[in-house]
Amino acid sequence: MDLIRILLSVLLPPLGVFMQVGLGGAFWLNILLTILGYIPGIIHAVWVIAKNPPQQRLT
């Protein structure tokens, strides 16, 4: 599943971060970095995905 998130992060970095951590500070920081430069947004997104374990959903 992380591979899918990383591939999505290359295409649209905030989407990969959103799928990993939700609407938190990392998501908004990634939007800002992506606006300022596409490459910093990708680097941050991959770092967030690699660093944070996926959130567990209660079903």
Task: Please give the pLDDT value at position 28.
Answer: 95
Average pLDDT by stretches of 10, the chain with 59 residues: 83 90 91 94 92 63
pTM tops 0.85? no
CA–CA–CA angle 4, 41, 45 (5° rounding):
35
For residue 33, give Cα distances in angstroms to 23, 38, 39, 50, 55: 15, 7, 8, 18, 23
Task: Please give the pLDDT value at position 54.
Answer: 66
| Nearest one of 56, 46, 51 to 14, comparing CA atoms | 46
**Domains in the chain: boundaries:** 2-51
